[in-house]
A and B are shown apart, each in its own frame.
Chain A
């Protein structure tokens, strides 16, 4: 009798040993992982966290009369300056242009990404290479190329004249900046959209059509919700750099359309008001951080 009762207990111990072992193995793996990522953490600490701390300290400092910065007597003056109409206008204009750029990218990229994702694999890869080809040329050079295209005797003015729309001056306008930003950041929208659409089982679209949904309803109820992670990732990847864009507005924009990036540069180099430049940089970063958090909160859901 006792032997029969004893045996299951012994067996249970054997079974219990397995999760224990797995836990230990997982701990060892995570220790190894930490060791391997140490160089990256060290690099980030020295070249990212430390400078960031310096910027933060400067944003609470005061500009002295000679264009230097007094680190004593911390205050919020620099942040208060951001509420002034000039800065506020620049902030809102930048937010608006970044949002507009994001929206245009989304509208242009979505059908394109869907098209790529539904091609046979060989065609797919080829088209993705085409999307990435612009990266092979320097960003600055590409922006200057747009200057030529949009300029006085450029392609766009010529077409506009040929169509009888009169001579259109595009260069150095807000439109030119948006065109340049859309052009520059479009691949950042296409790639995440492609990645998330490609994962969707296309028979879901057929199922939706079979269940009496029109093309529009299918898009709204099935395709869009399922590709939301791509939409959000792409939007952040376009919105964030658009908001802080410096090169494109400098080259294609006019003097009347100062954006955040240019304003910050001016504060640091021309006005020599480091605290204001630093505080503005921090506000910009806060906006990006919020956007990224939104992504991680929504991106993980549903799928």
Chain B
């Protein structure tokens, strides 16, 4: 046997996938491997190409260039009905002329699965998403959450190799969405199928996914675990898109020094050539705040004027104006902390490992 055989086969493998609609490049040479059993999120703002990428995996859109493999088999030109994947559509796309049971059975019927087997598998899928008793309802008689479960059951009953979810929680209200996040995650663990889901909600992606691919303007910018993406964003866009962040314009002076836009030199690691325009990324919860003369020796700081305070209950967010930039500092609401009045001169500080220097 050759050495390559021992390597696990990727559930989905995109190599140089490009999709053009007339002269618009929707997806621009994306390379991506999604492992078997992974919960993978494609994250990005609307129009970034994430949905088109998902639709190409589903077979609802065909790549202009590149290779698309599903468990090692080239699938780029196969129509949707010939691919071992199923989709949970954004608005669920339940068949309105069929009851819940018939919706769930549809895929099995089309694959000509024997009748007695269909009945058993449909019952099992309906139980899996906890919809027992609603088998004969039409989709218009269901709530948003129930519809979503039907869509899940309808896809999962086919035991796809990969389940694709297009903004699966987008149509639900906040409370239900948070509930379903946990449920989806548990469901994925239970069935052990690779889930690929598309979302524009970074919090949803961070909460649910094993790994995240961040997209913008058709390009896949970064792939990593939620922690990697949050703590080591590759560029300004990713840093800004994921979570709250302060970005200070700067340029590279040396391997461990950058020059801020106001001329201050600060420590900061980066491997970019001297003179490159960068941004220093400082998360609000990692910034400290002190009276200007009391900054601890191991911390670097900038001085500014406190402009406002937002009271969040469990935390306080201070807005500090530096004159050339504005910073947000988030402090847990602990008794006895430093609480300067608005208008006071304050120092915003950080340790070296709290910041990252990213490409602008």
Binding site for B on A (CB under 8 A): 201, 203-204, 206-214, 217, 221-222, 225-226, 302-303
Contact = CB atoms under 8 A, between A and B. Distances in A.
B86 interface: yes
B81 A207 contact: no
Contacts of A204: 93, 95-96
B60 A209 contact: yes
A180 B333 CA distance: 83
B93 A201 contact: yes
A208 B80 CA distance: 9
Question: Dominant SS at the B interface?
Answer: loop
Contacts of A303: 96-97
A226 B158 CA distance: 24
A211 B79 contact: no
A221 B97 CA distance: 10
A211 B96 contact: no
A86 B344 CA distance: 107
B91 interface: yes
Interface in B61-90: 79-81, 85-87, 89-90
A211 B60 contact: no
B110 A207 contact: no
Nearest to A207: B93
8 contacts: A203-B93, A209-B60, A209-B81, A211-B110, A211-B154, A214-B81, A217-B110, A222-B95
B158 A207 contact: no
B87 A210 contact: yes
B86 A211 contact: yes
Contacts of A221: 106
Nearest to A214: B81
Nearest to A222: B95
Contacts of B358: none
B162 to A, nearest CB: 12
A208 B155 CA distance: 11
A214 B112 CA distance: 12
Contacts of A214: 81, 110
Contacts of B58: 210
B107 interface: yes
Contacts of A203: 89-91, 93
